[in-house]
Amino acid sequence: MSDHNTPDIIYTRVDEAPELASASFLPIIQKFASAAGVSVGTKDISLAGRILATFPEHLAEAQRQPDDLAELGQLVKTPQANVIKLPNISASVPQLVAAVKELQSQGYGLPDYPETPATDAEKAIRTKYDTLKGSAVNPVLREGNSDRRAAKAVKSYAQNNPHRMGEWTADSKTRVSSMSGGDFFSNETSVTLAKEATAKIVLETATGETVLKEGLTYPTGTVVDATFMSAAKLDAFLAEEIASTTADGTLFSLHMKATMMKVSDPIIFGHAVKVFLKPVFDLFGAEMADLGVNPNSGMGDLLKRVKDQPAIMSAIDACMKKRPPLYMVDSDKGITNLHVPSDVIIDASMPALIRAGGKGWGPDGSESDANCVIPDNSYAPVYDETVKFFKENGKLNPATAGTVQNIGLMAQKAEEYGSHPTTFEMPTGGTVKMILDDGTVLHQHKVEENDIWRSASARKAPIEDWVNLAIARQKAEGCEAIFWLDADRAHDAELIAYVKPILAAQGVADKFQIMAPRAATRASLETITKGENSIAITGNVLRDYLTDLFPILELATSAKMLSIVKLMQGGGLFETGAGGSAPKHVQQLMEENHLRWDSLGEFCALGESLQFLADARSNEKARVLGQAVDTATQGILDDNRSPSRKVGEPDNRDSHYWFARYWADALAMQNSDAELAAYFAPIAKALADGEAAILSELAAAQGPAVDLGGYYHGDAAKTAAVMRASATLNAIIG
């Protein structure tokens, strides 16, 4: 991609609430940016867009669309990259199937998603669809490591306006349960490669050898891990926890990441569904299989498939009466924790429960203590220690709490999040071996049928970049900095061998601590309780978990974090927060034309993107624009202009009007650039003069149901009509 045809800033087109908000916010950005000679273009990385780009041969010429994700994947490897990435759907199978159905109903001749592919053609279609599952977008775009922290304006607002926290008591029955052996943590082996290598993964059995994967290539210095989870030990653990939850009188809650760990976690989720309904599967397993039941798709899909089978339904009712009550995703609608694998995402569900004083919603619509079941023990100690800390010390006080920033190793598909192409459910028992091209057996594990085996890797260049980013961040902040690495865990020990020499060579070893996640959790909680700050320097999964856990406790949400990816080739990727609650937001908009999505994450990312552009292109007008964004963001917070949750009150569109107004005011009043001040003075005046008309036009739009033309693939004109409901504002913005 050359400079002249790539916009200065790429704003991604995504899904659900963030995409709806873009219909209102993007025209404002483009109008303001053009005054500084900055072009803002879009690339479509939505689930629907990725589906259409993957199957051009099934579409009419006019329906085809380019593979924007692949283009962005190339752009982020160049110094020119400046991408604002909004949250996109990390698709589970039910979401993928629903998106395909919607596109088919709109006249796109896509093939059905083959749940159980039989023919070679079906297998080929399934393989293509499988590339879209889970977090397919992030590994492509994240060609750098992560710097996540609360923006100063956001943190000071949270301290001045502390959110409500649930009360923790010492006698809370809430606890975290995980396997004591037989899991990924206990079976892990890890090696750092002394030279570049090609590898294959094979399963050796009494009858021969099956190649599971070949042609894997790793550069010198790559840390390569392998591990497995025992299916038998997982089932025994789940059965034990169901029984102990019943005895405790608490809610049974499973916390997984089926979106990012798109092969292993849906399988583990399926084991939980099967063990929870064991008497039903024992009696009717064959009949349910004939009806297409796949426990990995969740209880919701299972119930749909057996609803016309009275004997099975009756067995399910009898079984549920003897089971502990389930933690609910939506108790009003009867949607349980085991309904849909993508509904319960550990990094959102666990912090929400912790913030609520260890309480989760039960099927009766009231709050109860819960058994938080996190089968693998790799990261469960973080949540276990957090629960123990609050039981001992009571809830965190957001008014006085310090902050935990994060520097996360994630570039080039680092660690477990890059493991789906090398994760396998064992068809039979045997020995899995990872063998290098020179015949060296790098890893081997004795496995049984249905065990889940996986390999992950982290490359040398991203690891070194991550350590250097941590050193720079600690120097800028001057606060406590901890590498969350466990010397007794195989993978972490290999990382420590990289970290220590770099810290020593730069003369900063005394500025950092290295602690196992459990100890690091307690140390960080003690630090922020005292009102001081800490930097958590972590691997990829903990980056994800901690940048929800601490912000939800400190700020009430993780959507307001600055999320900067310093791309290794010099570009910038600016992420805009979490999208976990987006489905509920879309539903509310469709039912009563009120969008409560808060674009604060987009405001923060926009400011950073413009300042980055100013540095990269020596564009001082862009710097003035970016500084004014920060002023506008502060205004939104100080004057409480964020969206309300209730229909009839200000929503996302109102917040965009106020943002535009504060932004224009700041630009009109600054004295760094007279030309910009002159350009924005009449815009600022028009926005102020139009206040009454604009707010009344936006208020009048709320209430009735609206048609967006689709959920996954909405109609652009219909969406714009809904999201740009003020003719007065549109006339000013154009």
The Cα–Cα gap between 656 and 658 comes to 5
Q: How far is CA 148 from CA 470, 508, 560, in A?
A: 11, 22, 10
The Cα–Cα gap between 183 and 188 comes to 9
The residues near 500 (Cβ < 8 Å, ≥ 6 apart) are 509, 514
pLDDT of 511-527, one tens digit each? 999 999 999 999 999 99
Number of H helices, E strands in the chain: 27, 24
> Which pLDDT belongs to residue 169?
96
Question: Do the Cβ atoms of 336 and 363 come closer than 8 Å?
Answer: yes
| Range 292-309 average pLDDT | 96
What is the DSSP code (8-state) at residue 113? Answer: P
pLDDT of 84-117, one tens digit each? 999 888 888 889 999 999 999 999 999 999 988 9
The Cα–Cα gap between 77 and 569 comes to 6
> Which pLDDT belongs to residue 2?
35
> Which pLDDT belongs to residue 305?
97
Query: Which one-letter amino acid corresponds to residue 206?
Result: A
pLDDT of 367-411, one tens digit each? 999 999 999 999 999 999 999 999 999 999 999 999 999 999 999
This prediction's pTM: 0.84
> Which pLDDT belongs to residue 579?
63
The Cα–Cα gap between 172 and 394 comes to 11
- pLDDT range class, residue 133, cuts 50, 70, 90: confident
| Range 622-650 average pLDDT | 95
- Which contiguous run of DSSP H or E holds residue 215? strand 208-218
**Strand, coil or helix: 497:** helix
> Which pLDDT belongs to residue 581?
65
Q: What is the CA radius of gyration of the chain?
A: 26
Tell me the percentage of the chain whose pLDDT exceeds 70: 99
- pLDDT range class, residue 3, cuts 50, 70, 90: very low
Backbone torsions φ then ψ of 471, nearest 5 degrees: -65, -45
- Which tokens sit at 457? 């890797």
Place of tokens 């759907």: 89
Pick from 48, 707, 196: nearest CA to 723: 707
> Which pLDDT belongs to residue 141?
86
pLDDT of 324-380, one tens digit each? 999 999 888 999 999 999 888 899 899 999 999 999 999 999 999 999 999 999 999
What is the DSSP code (8-state) at residue 194? Answer: S
The Cα–Cα gap between 402 and 392 comes to 19
The Cα–Cα gap between 540 and 662 comes to 37
For the chain, what is the mean pLDDT?
95
| Range 13-18 average pLDDT | 94
- Which contiguous run of DSSP H or E holds residue 502? helix 490-505
Query: Which one-letter amino acid corresponds to residue 728?
Result: T
Question: Do the Cβ atoms of 592 and 705 come closer than 8 Å?
Answer: yes
Backbone torsions φ then ψ of 593, nearest 5 degrees: 50, 45
| Range 168-188 average pLDDT | 97
pLDDT of 538-554, one tens digit each? 999 999 999 999 999 99
The Cα–Cα gap between 517 and 536 comes to 10
The Cα–Cα gap between 500 and 349 comes to 34
Q: Identify any residues that bridge with 195 across adjacent strands, giving them in sequence order.
A: none
> Which pLDDT belongs to residue 578?
65
Written as one string, the DSSP assignment of 273-322 is: HHHHTHHHHHHHHHHHHHTT--GGG-HHHHHHHHTT-HHHHHHHHHHHHH
pLDDT of 593-616, one tens digit each? 999 999 998 999 999 999 999 999
Burial 251-280 (b: 16+ CB within 10 A, else e): bbbbbbbbbbbbbbbbbbbbbbbbbbbbeb
Upper half-sphere CA count for residue 190 (Cβ side, 13 Å): 25
The Cα–Cα gap between 144 and 142 comes to 5
- pLDDT range class, residue 1, cuts 50, 70, 90: very low
